[in-house]
Structure 1
Amino acid sequence: MTNPDPRPREQAIHPGVPDVGLEVLPPREVPLGGPRGMRVRRTLPQRHRSLIGAWCFLDHYGPDDVAVTGGMRVPAHPHTGLATVSWLFTGEIEHRDSTGAHARVVPGEFNLMTAGRGISHSEVSLPDSPVLHGVQLWLALPEGSRDVEPRFEHYAPRPVRGPGWEARVFLGSLLGDTSPVRTHSPLVGAELMLADGHGLEVDVDPGFEHGFLLDVGRASVEGQEVEPGELLYLSPGRDRLRVECSEEARMVLIGGPPFGEEIMMWWNFVGRTHEEIVEARDQWQAQLFRDDELVTDGTQVLPGRYGVVPDQHLPPLPAPTLPNARLKRRR
């Protein structure tokens, strides 16, 4: 998924945000397309908290009536320095990228696209999916891994069950299950479902900070109630977390050790300096123009840093205009 903001503001991400213990992060609505287009609820990044471990971006969408909004129709666009995570509750999306990967994103199956030094991809909801509902997340790649070769991985985690609960662990280890998916920093990611009136004790790594996104239902974590769409942040230091629900609930759990690096995000790029972001944008734009005209057929994108998405007939997405001033870190 792309960041659809036509005037993206750089996000300067700083390690060492003060420890607040528990913090509820409210979502903000962002349109994915035109005025009637699909809307997403974004809880990361926020002005005062942009990272939970290496997780640096979280969009939550749906249930979205595709007949009304047109669903997801995101043409070829670039990424650098990050990895994208797709996790669906309802619906199906077709993924294509410049590594040649072509996959159907379906509920309960995990898709990780590592951009590394540069990748381009598209995401389009399929016509037989009347409703879309899920989350899209980004992971910042640490300094030693941010220029790795791009790749795409798929994994279908088995359900782990206990009294009144079910979980699917798609990254890291939790509840006795471990995902085989490779990552470039320690992480955890899982979907948790609790039956009405049930609770769950989750053993976690005390060196991790965690986030719980409530999708549906009524739930609390460590006694803090969360509303659907809100993301609850929990600082490191806990080796067990108590989750309870007063009505059937579904949550997404993310976590990892504090990232420990300052990074800059602008549009779909994660870098370290203004110059890196400018170069990343210029190299994408150079792939989109032929004789000073924007290409209108995705199959005609020129070769370059981000590769070419095969069998893609949507016009590629040009980068927004950079601000007049230098991108700078903001606290």
Structure 2
Amino acid sequence: MPVDACQALLCWYAVDKRSLPWRAGPGKAPDPYRVWLSEVMLQQTTIAHARPYFETFVHRWPTVEALAAESDGEVMAAWAGLGYYARARNLLACARIVADQLGGRFPEDEAALRRLPGIGAYTAAAVAAIAFGRRAVAVDANVERVVARLFAVEAPLPSARAAIRDHAERLTPEENAGDFVQAMMELGQTVCMPRRPDCGRCPLTPHCAGYAAGDPGAFPVKAPKAARPRREGVAYWLEHRGRVLLVRRPQKGLLGGMLALPTDGAPAEAAWREAGAVDHVFTHFALTMRLLCAETDTPAEGIWWPVERIGEAGLPTLFAKLAVRGSEWRRAA
């Protein structure tokens, strides 16, 4: 990117950037904890969805030491609904290493950051640049889109990613690394959007090969998506005196460590009745989960949660949907 284009982007960012709770205010240094937390939360998640979770986390756990000292169950419950629950497990593991082994200070360079749980190439580069001002090439989906359009990269994703990263490497300046990384992300999020890019507001339009070609929205080129496989399952809503049985899912695997309704077979002999089904889409497959409901007079040991407070259990989205069905069955029974 020519120097004047880079300067135009940074000037645009200085004027038009949004006020976000993880960004440092004027004259203030970035907080590495808040930068790291926001980057983990924003992986495959929109700002609108992640923002209230971020605000809840920093209110409850304002430092990495406070987060590290919290129980797994409390953090997983606070994460419920944000999805991709391995991020929450890695979040805690990373926080505990930083707090217990690194004196509460995040490493400043990419290589050391990547050795921490849950920090991949992109997150390491983003934290190094934004929190510590290091020159780092951070390519998320937004930056990928901006670069693919700037250079009219014709190869389809994912094979184009190496070329896009090479272009991004050449674009990244030695100075103002943190602002440049955030400016590229901001441009992709608010102007160079997936559909109907707003080229009239873009500071890079004079330098954009995609715009010059007449159809910037055609980039990045995407290969046809493979159809998601569909799976089926059964969950169980077992009540006893106004409480419903919940289980803690295994730490490893789908929705690991979260509270949920039982799914590994009926938890008791009872007169089970069908209460409908819920469809849910995960990253690699779609799931239809049927719900069977029953009451019992002889409860087994387990986590018996008050039905009237089921919204406080921190259930992941799939099971929160099923809980709505269970509550409806309860009212109709």
Q: TM-score, normalised by structure 2?
A: 0.27
Q: Which of the pair is proportionally richer in helix? A: 2
Q: Highest relative contact order (Cα 8 Å, sep 6+), 1 or 2? A: 1
More strand by share: 1
